[in-house]
């Protein structure tokens, strides 16, 4: 990443060798000079005062002295030699990347900043590396790029590449909904109407309440679940727990005329 940084701003770097403290002695001697000359014996009321005094010292002391190594005045060297060699800064700032690791969930997605990004299914349960820029999310496994997504700006969004799913799961959203619509229609007319109500009200997470309603068939006959959906539709509710409570307290036997706001808590509980 540092190499990309130097390329972006068009400058070269001279890396220091490890365990060779003399390689960076010039840099540290400059820090020593500032600490010993400017900071020594001074205290500052706040950051603004510090910045003001530091700039004054830089312009009137540090830049006007005879430099200990080159034996020249830094300000004059800058104006006569260095200034003409400076390049204009690029229009775009350097895109600093965020990196990290994530574990791939059973649904072939990883979680990043409140959103979900798909990964090929063969990596489920494994740890992958991530690289996040302002616009993109790159996902790697052992240094190999395995997924690339546009970075999502909202929260709770799924960014899914269908080819990341195993073959038996690669069907369209419409086909997926049709499967559950058929299952709800097999319960009864009102259950199918409940399906459409839930999809309309909760387009992004409709599967959870629908699967919950279907699970009620383990404990109740189709007729009971269908009537519970009828009562739920009368109240305009789309929560699985409400439909379950209707089954438990047998309020599905109540007439639809029972549908008044003051009675909703009874149905809900």
User: Do strands 158-159 and 115-118 pair parallel, antiparallel, or not at all (unpaired)?
Assistant: parallel
**How far is 47 from 233, CA to CA, in rounded Å?**
63
Q: Tens digit of pLDDT for each residue in 90-130?
A: 888 887 788 999 999 988 999 999 999 999 999 999 999 99
Q: Determine, yes or no, domain membership for 8.
A: yes
Q: Of the candidates 35, 55, 85, which is a domain's last residue? A: 85
Q: Determine, yes or no, domain membership for 55.
A: yes
Q: Determine, yes or no, domain membership for 196.
A: yes
pLDDT of residue 235: 83
Q: In what order do the strands lie in the sheet with 98-103?
A: 98-103, 127-132, 136-141, 144-150
SS3 14: coil
DSSP assignment, residue 106?
Answer: T
**How far is 50 from 155, CA to CA, in rounded Å?**
41
Query: Is residue 195 exposed (0-12), middle (13-18) or buried (19+ Cβ within 10 Å)?
Result: buried
Phi, psi of 47 (to 5 degrees): -65, -35
Q: Of the candidates 118, 152, 169, which is a domain's last residue? A: 169
The total domain count for the chain is 3
∠ CA 120-123-126, nearest 5°, is: 150
**How far is 206 from 124, CA to CA, in rounded Å?**
24
Mean pLDDT of 173-196: 89
Tokens 């409570």 correspond to what residue? 245
Structure tokens at 80: 């006569």
Contact between 192 and 184 under an 8 Å Cβ cutoff? The reply is yes
pLDDT of residue 263: 47
Contact between 246 and 263 under an 8 Å Cβ cutoff? The reply is no
SS3 86: coil
Q: Of the candidates 169, 199, 232, which is a domain's last residue? A: 169
Q: Determine, yes or no, domain membership for 190.
A: yes
On whether both 14 and 46 belong to a single domain, the answer is yes
Pick from 68-77, 175-184, 252-261: least confident? 252-261
**How far is 36 from 61, CA to CA, in rounded Å?**
13
Q: Determine, yes or no, domain membership for 91.
A: no
Which pTM does this prediction carry? 0.42
Structure tokens at 42: 């001074």
Using 50, 70 and 90 to split pLDDT, how confident is the model at 171? low
Q: Determine, yes or no, domain membership for 214.
A: yes
Name beta bridge partners: 115: 112
Mean pLDDT of 231-256: 85
**How far is 246 from 227, CA to CA, in rounded Å?**
9
- Give the domain range for residue 138: 98-169
């Amino acid at each position: 990443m540092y190499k990309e940084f130097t390329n972006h701003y068009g400058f070269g770097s001279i890396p220091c060798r490890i365990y060779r403290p003399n390689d960076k002695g010039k840099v540290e001697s400059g820090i020593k000079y500032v600490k010993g000359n400017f900071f020594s014996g001074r205290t500052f009321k706040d950051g603004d005062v510090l910045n003001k005094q530091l700039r004054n010292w830089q312009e009137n002391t540090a830049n006007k002295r005879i430099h200990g190594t080159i034996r020249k005045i830094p300000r004059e060297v800058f104006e006569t030699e260095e200034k003409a060699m400076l390049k204009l800064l690029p229009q775009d700032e350097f895109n600093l990347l965020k990196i990290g690791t994530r574990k791939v969930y059973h649904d072939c997605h990883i979680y990043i900043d409140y959103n979900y990004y798909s990964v090929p299914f063969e990596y489920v349960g494994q740890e992958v590396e991530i690289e996040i820029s302002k616009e993109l999310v790159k996902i790697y496994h052992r240094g190999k790029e395995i997924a690339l997504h546009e970075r999502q700006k909202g929260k709770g969004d799924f960014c899914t590449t269908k080819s990341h799913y195993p073959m038996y799961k690669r069907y369209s959203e419409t086909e997926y909904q049709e499967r559950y619509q058929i299952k709800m229609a097999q319960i009864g007319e009102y259950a199918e109407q409940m399906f459409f109500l839930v999809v309309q009200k909760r387009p992004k997470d409709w599967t959870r309440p629908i699967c919950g309603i279907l699970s009620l068939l383990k404990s109740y006959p189709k007729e009971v679940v269908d009537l519970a959906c009828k009562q739920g539709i009368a109240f305009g509710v789309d929560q699985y727990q409400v439909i379950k409570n209707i089954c438990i307290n047998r309020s599905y036997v109540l007439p639809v005329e029972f549908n008044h706001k003051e009675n909703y808590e009874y149905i809900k509980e």
